[in-house]
Amino acid sequence: MTVNILFAATPDRWSTYQAPLSKALTDAGIDFDLRAQFAPSDVDYIVYAPNSDVQDFTPYTRLKAVLNLWAGVENITGNATLTVPLARMVDAGLKQGMTEWVAGHTLRHHLGLDAHICGQDGIWRKDIPPLAQDRPVTILGLGELGQDCARALSTLGFPVTGWSKSPKIINGITTRHGPKGLMQSLKTAEILILLLPDTPATQDTLNPTTLAQMPRGAVIINPGRGSLIDDNALLAALDSGQIGHATLDVFRTEPLPASHPFWSHPAVTVTPHIASETRPVTASQIIAENVRRGEANEPLLHLVDRAQGY
């Protein structure tokens, strides 16, 4: 029987996904009808971006699962009309992109690249940075993205500490968990990378108390979510020098409003939620595999725990 798949995302994404997703579904041996429009009562699966027009799932009476195109699911986990399983995106391309972005921004701060490249004022600034082995890095969030970044930074020589909700053992990485583990992880964090999801429990993870734990002049890199940081506390910590620089890719309101003080703060780098994108070819293979699993009554990959919010 033909499987009806609704692609519920913005039109620009439909044009990039239609061909690779059709190919991946064909390669997975699925008899499918993939469209950007369907009568709701005919839909078996929704490939979903949380900013799509579909916000009420009630009319989708034969829906079997929602397959999110993004890693972050905070805009859908609380949707009470969604009663079928929700899978999030874990994509090799997304992971690779995040690791490259995190490594790049970590090295920028570690090496002091701004001072050496941009100092076109005739001053011969020869500040020798320490080697990576002497620059402790902490990553909050040791999931799909955090672990990949941790391994890459560790391979570059950084002593990496990672913090997560549950205990973990990861070769070469110092791991911690729980509230006490957070404070210990922050104490050594000369560079701090945030890769936690946006859930009620992670709101304002960086606040006046936690920022004060960090070494003076530490750098914060946030490709996770804007809600992880108390903006006013960060601005105060930047003004006092407690935090030396913040590179921020995600914000409570996006695009970041023109009036927001982050734009003009000399110790803040704003990037436009560009750290990493789901890549159509690799992501399509994950979606096709989940449709195949759904049709074979096998457990779906990357299911979201709606109660935990990620």
Residue 95 to residue 15: CA distance in whole angstroms? 23
Q: Which residue matches tokens 């003004």?
A: 239
Question: Cβ 163 to ligand NAP, closest distance in Å?
Answer: 6
For the record, the structure tokens of 85 come out as: 């399983």
13 belongs to the catalytic site: no
> Binding to ligand NAP by residue 276, rule CB under 6 A?
yes
Catalytic residue (one of 177, 273, 302, 306):
273
Contact track, ligand NAP, 192-231, x by CB under 6 A: ---xxxxx-xx--------------------xxx------
Q: Give me the long-range contacts of 167-175 (CB less than 8 A, separation at least 24).
A: 168/142, 170/142, 173/142, 175/142
> Binding to ligand NAP by residue 166, rule CB under 6 A?
yes
Question: Cβ 101 to ligand NAP, closest distance in Å?
Answer: 8
197 touches 70 (CB < 8 A): no
256 touches 246 (CB < 8 A): no
> Binding to ligand NAP by residue 250, rule CB under 6 A?
yes
Q: Kindly report the CA angle at 307 between 295 and 9, in degrees rounded to 5?
A: 55
The count of chain residues that interact with ligand NAP, using the rule CB under 6 A, is 29
Phi-psi region of 244 (alpha: psi -120 to 50; beta: other; left: phi over 0): alpha
- Under DSSP, the state recorded for 71 is S
Question: Cβ 182 to ligand NAP, closest distance in Å?
Answer: 7
> Binding to ligand NAP by residue 149, rule CB under 6 A?
no
Stretch touching ligand NAP by CB under 6 A, among 23-31, 104-112, 142-150, 152-160:
142-150
225 belongs to the catalytic site: yes
Positions marked catalytic: 225, 273
Q: Provide the binding-site residues for ligand NAP, judged by CB under 6 A.
A: 71-72, 94, 98, 141-146, 164-166, 195-199, 201-202, 223-225, 249-250, 273, 275-276, 310
